[in-house]
Chain A
Amino acid sequence: MSDVTLAMIGIVFMFLLMLLRMPVGFAMFFAGFVGFSIVVSPRAAVSILSTDIWAGFASYSLGVIPMFVFMGQIAFRTGVTENLYSAAYKWVGHMKGGMAGTTIAASTAFAAICGSNAATTATMGTIALPEMKRFNYSPMLSTGSVAAGGTLGVVIPPSVVLIIIAIQTEQSIIRLFVANIIPGLLLAGLFMLTVILVCMKYPHLGPAGPKSATIEKIKSLSGVIEPLVLFFLVIGGLYAGWFTPTEAGAAGSFGALVISLVQRKLTWNNFSLAILDTLRISAMVMILVGGAVAFGRFLTVTRLPYVLAEWAVDLPISSLFILLIIIFIYIIGGAVMDALGFLTLSIPIFFPLAMALGYEPIWYTVLICIITTMGAITPPVGINAFIVKGLAPEVPMEEIFKGVGLFMMAYVVTIVLLIAFPQIAMFLPRLLF
């Protein structure tokens, strides 16, 4: 049996384990370990397992993961978002659908300091859902805007997903962060446009709120300053070369702690909850990364990614068509699996293929990040939709999915624009580096 056939069997075996509900990281680890044992030797597999795990866990570079997760958790637990939400509300709350627009705008701002879509959804949902209910918003629009807005947590930097892809594909974290800024803002803008169009056609879905005076609008901006300073400190410091990504995460966490202390929102309880969640998420992410490394090593010794790439390059079809197939796989993968899980397992297979087809690594990363993030609001797994359900148990699941369906077109338009105009992602990195 050829090594490539073994690799194919390995992939099927891994998916089978996942379907039997073995955690994704464990399944990748196990399939990689068994596969490497068969293709090379069991002794080499266990040797690599022990040294690789130690090297991975004791890595300065991977220290970036807990640091950025911690920064987001501090922001999430200490309610820094309340000020963001009230400021956004003062500016756009008086328009039809203004509160849904406020939710999108505040999610965009929160995403700039939090790299997780689950944390962004939970944070914004806690504040926005009761408010929108109070103003007689349709549950469909309110839950949809919270779930869709939450996905910006991953798309707008800093983003834990982007950090992991950068580590896996040996790309610069800051370049990926910078590249995602315009696509992230484009997506947020299209979400806002969706709210406007929906409320123009069906005004009863999002009634207008009271108008704020200009002075109130200006005063409200004071609550936005600290998170914005934090964002510019982290991204600007990385870009200026003041600090490494791990230091940026540490500075961001430290800054978030200082802000919450200044705003008197830091309590022992929310501090310990932030630490506990950081530890849970970091361990989960490290197992995913470790599993992807083990599985990637197995695929590398079988040479499957290279054979696949060579085969695809020689196909008598355009590279765009192959890209569309990859996109289709990512849409399905993102819909049935957690975005991070699917990205970590698919990158060893598809990243070399995309590179062989001549695609720009940064652009390709931005594209697949956005596509898999869309999976957070698509059934059946749609994690953000389930988080919203947890926050608004009285709203039926179908209603929530109908709500997120309103925002799906924004994703489609962003993806199409990114493919048609790669400059959307490449403009800032080319300008700045």
Chain B
Amino acid sequence: MDYLDKFNKNLSRVFVWIAGSALIAVMLLAVGNMFLRAFYVPFGATWELVGFLTAIVTAFSLGFSQLTKAHVAIDLLIQLFSLRVRLFLESITTLLSLFLFSVVTWHIYKYAGRVLEQGVLSETLRIPFYPIIYAVSAAFFCFTLVLLADFLRAVIGVFKK
């Protein structure tokens, strides 16, 4: 359990660095393009690149957001139960989340494979963009690992308490 937590933290830290760099890149690209448009010619691929970078910003932050419990949840009902019941219910909802996002991860991975096989290129730059889809599926995989750790923690909690 400790090993998984440590692995998740380290992986999320790396992913957050990538996401943060992509965030700055989006800002600079968009601002740079505004100046280019005003004083020279706009950079035509801005739209496409900002899209790809936004995918990196958000997908690579998913694991970190789950680690820091950033997602909005309602505590009203669950507070009424004992700790053991709370952990039991948490294990069920986390298992459902784990199932959902494992399916998502797998299908984004398969989608990247289809894009690679079909040789699909981006509209403006005409470059293959399947690596970014693979990267997004890797980010979702990191997210599911954090969910897996949360699930295991809740299950262990049920039996320990």
Residue numbers of A with Cβ under 8 A of B are 17-26, 29-30, 33, 46-47, 49-51, 53-54, 57-60, 62-63, 66-67, 70, 242-243, 246-247, 249-251, 253-254, 272, 275-276, 278-284, 286-288, 336-338, 340-341, 380-381
B103's nearest neighbour on chain A, judged by CB, is: A46
B68's nearest neighbour on chain A, judged by CB, is: A280
Q: Scan residues 107-150 of chain B and give those whose CB is less than 8 A from a CB of chain A.
A: 107-108, 110-111, 132-133, 136
What chain A residues lie within 8 Å of B158 (beta carbons)? none
Known: A67-B26, A246-B50, A282-B57. A20 touches B78 (CB 8 A): yes
Bits for B48-72, please: 1 = Cβ < 8 Å to A, else 0: 1011111101111110110010111
What chain A residues lie within 8 Å of B28 (beta carbons)? 254
On whether the beta carbons of A66 and B58 are closer than 8 Å, the reply is yes
On whether the beta carbons of B73 and A66 are closer than 8 Å, the reply is no
What chain A residues lie within 8 Å of B54 (beta carbons)? 57-60, 62-63, 66
State A137–B78 Cα separation when bound (angstroms).
37
State A247–B58 Cα separation when bound (angstroms).
17
Closest 10 CB pairs of A and B: A250-B30, A23-B71, A50-B107, A283-B65, A279-B61, A283-B61, A22-B93, A58-B55, A63-B54, A57-B55
State A63–B24 Cα separation when bound (angstroms).
12
Pick the contact of A288: B30, B72, B77, B107 (CB < 8 A): B72
How large, as a class, is the contact surface on chain B?
35 or more
Pick the contact of A57: B24, B34, B59 (CB < 8 A): B59
Nearest CB on A from B112, distance (A): 9
Known: A250-B31, A280-B61. A21 touches B72 (CB 8 A): no
Pick the contact of A20: B61, B92, B100 (CB < 8 A): B92
Pick the contact of A246: B30, B58, B60, B92 (CB < 8 A): B30
What chain B residues lie within 8 Å of A25 (beta carbons)? 71-72
On whether the beta carbons of A280 and B64 are closer than 8 Å, the reply is yes
Pick the contact of B23: A18, A70, A251 (CB < 8 A): A70
Pick the contact of B108: A24, A26, A54, A284 (CB < 8 A): A54
Instruction: Give the interface SS of chain A, mostly helix, strand, loop or mixed.
Output: helix
State A337–B72 Cα separation when bound (angstroms).
9
A242's nearest neighbour on chain B, judged by CB, is: B34
On whether the beta carbons of B74 and A19 are closer than 8 Å, the reply is yes
On whether the beta carbons of A58 and B51 are closer than 8 Å, the reply is yes
On whether the beta carbons of A21 and B73 are closer than 8 Å, the reply is yes
Q: Besides the contacts A33-B100, A242-B38, what 13 more A-B pairs have beta carbons closer than 8 Å?
A: A17-B96, A23-B71, A23-B72, A26-B71, A29-B100, A57-B54, A62-B58, A66-B23, A247-B30, A247-B34, A251-B30, A276-B16, A279-B16
State A243–B42 Cα separation when bound (angstroms).
12
On whether the beta carbons of A279 and B57 are closer than 8 Å, the reply is yes
B11 contacts the other chain (CB 8 A): no
Pick the contact of B27: A18, A59, A67 (CB < 8 A): A67
What chain A residues lie within 8 Å of B64 (beta carbons)? 276, 279-280, 283
B7 contacts the other chain (CB 8 A): no
What chain B residues lie within 8 Å of A246 (beta carbons)? 30, 50
A71's nearest neighbour on chain B, judged by CB, is: B27
Bits for B37-51, please: 1 = Cβ < 8 Å to A, else 0: 010000000011011
What chain A residues lie within 8 Å of B73 (beta carbons)? 18, 21-24
Interface centre among A49, A280, A283 (most CB of B within 10 A): A283
Pick the contact of A66: B26, B70, B71 (CB < 8 A): B26
On whether the beta carbons of B75 and A21 are closer than 8 Å, the reply is yes
B33 contacts the other chain (CB 8 A): yes
A251's nearest neighbour on chain B, judged by CB, is: B31
Nearest CB on B from A299, distance (A): 18
What chain B residues lie within 8 Å of A70 (beta carbons)? 23, 27
Known: A17-B93, A57-B136, A247-B34. A253 touches B27 (CB 8 A): yes
